[in-house]
Structure 1
Amino acid sequence: MPAPEPSASASPSSARRPHAPARDRYDAVIVGGGHNGLVAAAYLARAGQSVLVLERLDTTGGAAISTRPFAGVDARLSRYSYLVSLLPRKIVRDLGLDFAVRKRTVSSYTPALRDGRPTGLLVGGDRTRESFAALTGGEREYAAWQRFYAMTQRVAERVFPTLTEPLPDREALRARIDDADAWRALFEEPIGVAVERNFTDDLVRGVVLTDALIGTFADAHDASLLQNRCFLYHVIGGGTGDWDVPVGGMGALTDALARAARTAGAEIRVRHEATRIETDGGHAEVTVRTPDGEQTVAARRVLVNASPQALAALLGETPPQPAEGAQLKVNMLLTRLPRLRDRSVDPRQAFAGTFHIAEGYGQLADAYREAAAGRLPTAPPSEIYCHSLTDPSILGPDLAARGYQTLTLFGLHTPARLFAADNDAARATLLKATLAELDAHLEEPITDCLALDENGEPCIEAKTPLDLERDLRLPGGHIFHRDLSFPYADEGVGRWGVETAHANVLLCGAGAVRGGGVSGVPGHNAAMAALEAS
Structure 2
Amino acid sequence: MQPTSSSYDVVVVGGGHNALVSAAYLARAGLSVVVLERLGHTGGAAVSVEPFAGHPARLSRYSYLVSLMPEQLMADLDLDVRLASRTTASYTPWTRGDRSGGLLVERPEGEATRASFRELTGDDAEHAAWQDFYGDVGRLAEVVAPTLMQPLPHERDLRSLVDERTWADVVEHPLGRAITARFSDDTVRGVVATDALIGTFASLDDPSLIQNRCFLYHLIGNGTGEWRVPIGGMGAVTDALARAALDAGAEIVTGAGVSAIVPGPDGAEVAFHDSSGEHRVTGRRVLSGVAPWVLRILLDEGEDPDTKPSGSQLKINVLLDRLPRLRSGVDPGVAFAGTLHLAEDYSQLERAYAAAAGGAVPDPMPGEVYCHSLTDPSILGDRAGSAHTLTYFGLHTPTGLFDADPGAKDVAVQRALASLDAVLAEPLADCLARDADGNPCVEAKIPQDVERDLAMPGGHIFHGDLEWPWAPHRARLDTPAQQWGVHTEHDTVLLCGSGARRGGAVSGLGGHNAAQAVLAEL
Report TM bin, short chain. Answer: over 0.9
Identity %: 57
Please state if 1:157 is matched with 2:142. yes
Q: What displacement does 1:504 show?
A: 1.0
Q: Is the 8 A contact 1:439 1:446 kept in 2?
A: yes
Please state if 1:412 is matched with 2:407. no
Q: What displacement does 1:401 show?
A: 3.1
Q: Is the 8 A contact 1:229 1:484 kept in 2?
A: yes
1:328 to 307, 314, 321: 314
SS in 2 for 1:254: helix
Q: Is the 8 A contact 1:288 1:296 kept in 2?
A: yes
Q: Is the 8 A contact 1:167 1:496 kept in 2?
A: yes
| Distance in 2 between residues matched to 1:298 and 1:96, nearest whole Å | 29
Give 1:33's aligned residue.
15
User: What are the equivalent positions in structure 2 for 1:74-473 lying under 5 Å apart?
Assistant: 74-125=56-107, 126=110, 127-175=112-160, 177-319=161-303, 321-343=307-329, 345-397=330-382, 399-402=383-386, 404-423=387-406, 425-473=407-455
2:504 to 516, 519, 530: 516
Which residue identity lines up with residue 284 of structure 2 in the other structure? R
| Distance in 2 between residues matched to 1:225 and 1:469, nearest whole Å | 25
Q: What displacement does 1:234 show?
A: 0.6
| Distance in 2 between residues matched to 1:288 and 1:382, nearest whole Å | 40
SS in 1 for 2:101: strand
Q: Is the 8 A contact 1:306 1:509 kept in 2?
A: yes
Deviates more, 1:295-304 or 1:275-284: 275-284
Please state if 1:61 is matched with 2:46. no
SS in 2 for 1:412: strand
| Distance in 1 between residues matched to 2:351 and 2:405, nearest whole Å | 23
Q: What displacement does 1:447 show?
A: 1.5
| Distance in 1 between residues matched to 2:401 and 2:206, nearest whole Å | 20
Please state if 1:506 is matched with 2:494. yes
Q: What displacement does 1:443 show?
A: 0.8
Q: Is the 8 A contact 2:267 2:286 kept in 1?
A: no
Which residue identity lines up with residue 476 of structure 1 in the other structure? G
Q: Is the 8 A contact 2:343 2:365 kept in 1?
A: yes
Question: Structure 1, unaligned stretches of length 5 or more?
Answer: 1-21
| Distance in 1 between residues matched to 2:385 and 2:225, nearest whole Å | 33
Q: Is the 8 A contact 1:87 1:520 kept in 2?
A: yes
Q: Could you tell me the TM-score, scaled by structure 2's length?
A: 0.96
Kindly provide the CA deviation profile for residues 5-38 of structure 1, in whole angstroms up to 9, marking residues without a partner as x.
Answer: xxxxxxxxxxxxxxxxx96110000000100000
Which residue identity lines up with residue 313 of structure 1 in the other structure? I
| Distance in 2 between residues matched to 1:37 and 1:257, nearest whole Å | 9
SS in 1 for 2:148: helix
Give 1:8's aligned residue.
none
Q: What displacement does 1:421 show?
A: 3.1
| Distance in 2 between residues matched to 1:527 and 1:258, nearest whole Å | 16
| Distance in 2 between residues matched to 1:394 and 1:168, nearest whole Å | 40
User: Over aligned residue pairs, what C-alpha RMSD do you find?
Assistant: 1.2
Q: What displacement does 1:118 show?
A: 2.4
Q: What displacement does 1:229 show?
A: 0.2
Q: What displacement does 1:115 show?
A: 2.7
2:457 to 475, 480, 484: 475
Q: Is the 8 A contact 2:34 2:253 kept in 1?
A: yes
Q: What displacement does 1:121 show?
A: 0.2
Give 1:43's aligned residue.
25
Which residue identity lines up with residue 417 of structure 1 in the other structure? G
Aligned residues between the structures: 508
Q: Is the 8 A contact 1:308 1:319 kept in 2?
A: no
Q: Is the 8 A contact 1:23 1:298 kept in 2?
A: no
Deviates more, 1:310-319 or 1:386-395: 310-319
Deviates more, 1:147-156 or 1:311-320: 311-320
Give 1:497's aligned residue.
485
SS in 1 for 2:483: coil
Deviates more, 1:247-256 or 1:279-288: 279-288
Deviates more, 1:122-131 or 1:347-356: 122-131
